[in-house]
Amino acid sequence: MEKKKILITGASKGLGLAIAKKLSVDYELILHASKLESFREIIPGSHILCADFTDNEQVTGFCKQLKKEYGQSLYAVINNAGLTYDKPLNFQPEREIDAMLNVNLRAPIMICKTAMKIFGLLNRGVIINISSVVGESGNAFQSVYAATKAGLTALSRSLAQEAAALSDNHSIRVLTVSPGFVETDMTAGIPDKIKEKYLGMIPAKRFGNVEDVAEAILFLLSDKASYINGTNIHINGGLI
Ligand SMILES: NC(=O)c1ccc[n+]([C@@H]2O[C@H](COP(=O)([O-])OP(=O)(O)OC[C@H]3O[C@@H](n4cnc5c(N)ncnc54)[C@H](OP(=O)(O)O)[C@@H]3O)[C@@H](O)[C@H]2O)c1
């Protein structure tokens, strides 16, 4: 039997790569990163699509290619690519603000737009947008990053409602997954003192690992999760 196809953005490393490895048993994968050289590992049998999401034209090209090549068969999209530049807003260069808005919010919106077109025609599909605990809690020195992540939650909730109008059999689901502190390149540069502070705030008394998130995504994509829609699933050891 043919495997269902899933797009994972930001699959070169960290959470995206772990999600890809977890899903590779059951699904056929379309993996994205900003460029081919970024991939730390290429999962055998996967398809690769590259685009730098800071560049709006590349995002347009990426969406066109996605629709053209996988428009008949796409089962799900995981909008995982993201970046952060942590600093006080009053010292944040405009180019960093634009990069966070483009990669974390504009690109997922455009990819959701493409996916909604595809899923509307196929009458089924799942979108999972990867947000963050800070999209709800806020976080000093991550104001723009947090704003983009809060945007993704609102996007998912709205699209879940929109999907009900598009799909006759109500089989399009749109969700957000919000990890807490997970050990990847993104968090590697955080000073030990700040890490200790976060650890003190986590009832589970450990940082998350990429497996914690990948396992949840595997479940959320399955038919067992068919009644989970529009909501924001927190994976943060109880942080908020
Ligand atoms: N780690 C955490 O604690 C944590 C917590 C909450 C939420 N998250 C979210 O989880 C997602 C994955 O994070 P991570 O920790 O796995 O980060 P990561 O290890 O830094 O990986 C980020 C991924 O995003 C891609 N990306 C970055 N800039 C891009 C650009 N300009 N164009 C296209 N792709 C780009 C990267 O591709 P390249 O390698 O090509 O740059 C990479 O594949 C992000 O959305 C992040 O906000 C992470």
The predicted structure's pLDDT at residue 166? 75
Partnered with residue 33 across adjacent β-strands are: 50
Share of the chain above pLDDT 70, in %: 99
Q: Whose CA is nearest to atom 8 of ligand 1?
A: 132
Q: Please give the pLDDT value at position 25.
A: 97
187 CB under 6 A from ligand 1?
yes
Q: Is 132 in the pocket of ligand 1 (CB under 6 A)?
A: yes
Residue 27 annotated among the catalytic residues of the structure: no
Mutate to test the pocket of ligand 1, among 13, 30, 54 (most ligand atoms within 8 A of CB): 13
Atom of ligand 1 nearest to the CA of 99: 31
For residue 208, the ligand 1 atom closest to its alpha carbon is 3
Q: If you measure from the C-alpha of residue 202 to the centroid of ligand 1, how many angstroms do you get, rounded to a whole number?
A: 22
**Percent of the chain at pLDDT above 90?**
96
Instruction: Give every CB contact of residue 181 below 8 A, 6+ residues apart in sequence.
Output: 133, 187, 195, 198, 202, 207, 208, 236, 239
Query: What pLDDT sits at residue 1?
Result: 79
Q: How many CB atoms lie within 10 A of CB 131?
A: 30
C-beta 108 within 6 A of ligand 1 = no
Tracing tokens 């690992």 back to the chain, one arrives at: 209
Which residues in the chain show pLDDT less than 50?
A: none
What pLDDT is recorded for position 240?
67
Q: What is the pLDDT of residues 66-85, one digit of tens each?
A: 999 999 999 999 999 999 99
For residue 165, what pLDDT is reported? 83
Contact 17, 41 (CB under 8 A): yes
Is 142 close to ligand 1, i.e. is its CB under 6 Å away? no
Tell how many helices (H) and how many strands (E) occur in the chain: 9, 7
| pLDDT for the residue 107 | 99
For ligand 1, atom 20, the nearest C-alpha belongs to: 186
Q: pLDDT per residue over 13-51, tens digit each?
A: 999 999 999 999 999 999 999 999 999 999 999 999 999
- Rounded Cα distance between 72 and 167, Å, is 16
Instruction: Output the CATH code of domain 4-235.
Output: 3.40.50.720
Q: Which of 27, 70, 75, 145 is catalytic?
A: 145
Can you give the pLDDT at residue 170?
Answer: 78
Write the residue with the smallest CA distance to atom 33 of ligand 1: 34
Nearest atom of ligand 1 to the alpha carbon of 79: 45
